[in-house]
Amino acid sequence: MEPEDKPRSMHIRERSNNGILERLDAGEVVVGDGGYVLQLERRGYVKAGHWTPEAAVEHPEAVRQLHREFLRAGADVMQTFTFYCSEDKLELSGNINDAACNLAREVADEGGALVAGGVSQTPCYVQSHNETEVKAIFKKQMDNFLKKDIDFLIVEYFEHVEEAVWAVEVLKTSGKTVAATLCIAPQGDRHRVPPGECAVRLVKAGADIVGINCHLDPMTCVRTVKLMKEGLEKAGLKAHLMIQPLGFHTPECNLGGYVSLPEYPFALETRAMTRWDIHKYAREAYNAGIRYIGGCCGFEPYHIRAIAEELATERGFLPPASEKHGLWGAALEMHTKPWVRARAHREYWENLLPASGRPKCPSMATPANDGLTEK
């Protein structure tokens, strides 16, 4: 049955009440949420450069609303808005962690979603490479999460697999399920440790779910997860696969990812993915064996809805937001203009080559550097 023919009765099915591993073990598709820091920066609640999540305390209504939009779009997981919220980065990290957990739980409970507490790379790793110091930071964050009884933990946005392994080792002591995602390219991490080897290290450290997030476009991230999968298979190891890429086109990017692009961070709109790009990404990820599929920076609620709609047959239901969206443009059949009505079908949108409307702009940019680490 084609998506545009799915009965609207699919909306009434409730989400699973199982935990993250139970869902994945059963073969369910888990849809992640989208990006927070870039979205909230654009809305006036986060400062670019610092990229820390004070908004959870200063403007909880803004964070709550974005959570709700992702939930309505089909997300099964609400990640706490705690990106880059380690003590060595932000003095108020404890208060922000608490507030972020409360907001995520409040919204997750409105729709049967799970809450994931996330830790990310620390400034002190690059500065000192002191394992004891770095692990102490992760433990403090973990302890805050455990007080709030989050459902599982995510190690995300790590450029160095060594630091991610340290984070997994700490978070695994919690007894909670641990997912670990790296923001690396197919060439490997900042020290060019190959994706397959990175995955093996993470699983041996205790990660139950491994994958890629941020830094690069969806199809590039799918390629990298495939390499991780190959590495695990060669090592005889098993883990669930996860992906939460950028919502931007980054074909010319290097190991440094999109932060090396001249458009970062204030002119990325020209690179934005369409909802139809995301349909293709969701199908590619699913066909690669990835079952936790979401997004990171640049992923807005309508992108998450596109994932949920593309995989509606596999999931058995559509999200509430699809009530206001004709699948594959079907609602355009009501348009008064005949040439717009003619676009109310899947073939049109699948084959569209969007124009930028910027005649003097190049199709590609020159990244700032090769992305190699200085240390």
**What's the confidence (pLDDT) of residue 83?**
84
Q: Among residues 34, 47, 128, 145, which one has the least CA distance to residue 90?
A: 47
Structural domains in the chain? 20-318 (3.20.20.330), 326-354 (no CATH)
Scanning the structure block, which residue is given the tokens 């047959």?
313
3-state secondary structure of 298: coil
Residue 274 has a CB neighbour count (10 Å cut-off) of 16
pLDDT digits (tens, 9 = 90+) for 149-204: 899 999 999 999 999 999 999 999 999 999 999 999 999 999 999 999 999 999 99
Single pTM value for the model: 0.93
3-state secondary structure of 115: strand
* Residues contributing to the annotated binding site: 214, 296-297
Examine the pLDDT at 375 and tell me if it is beyond 60: no
Contact 242, 179 (CB under 8 A): yes
The 30-31 sheet, strands edge to edge: 30-31, 292-293, 240-244, 209-213, 177-182, 152-158, 114-119, 77-79
Out of 271-280, 287-296, 355-364, pick the least confident. Answer: 355-364
Residue 325 has a CB neighbour count (10 Å cut-off) of 18
pLDDT digits (tens, 9 = 90+) for 1-34: 344 444 343 443 455 678 999 999 999 999 999 9
* Residues contributing to the annotated binding site for Zn(2+): 214, 296-297
- Helix (H) / strand (E) element for 135: namely helix 131-147
- The whole-angstrom separation of Cα 115 and Cα 120 is 16
Residue 186 has a CB neighbour count (10 Å cut-off) of 17
**What's the confidence (pLDDT) of residue 2?**
43
DSSP string, 13-71: PPPP-S-HHHHHHTTPPEE-----HHHHHHTTSS-TTT---THHHH-HHHHHHHHHHHH
- The whole-angstrom separation of Cα 273 and Cα 59 is 28
Average pLDDT over residues 120-129: 89
**What's the confidence (pLDDT) of residue 95?**
83
**What's the confidence (pLDDT) of residue 86?**
63
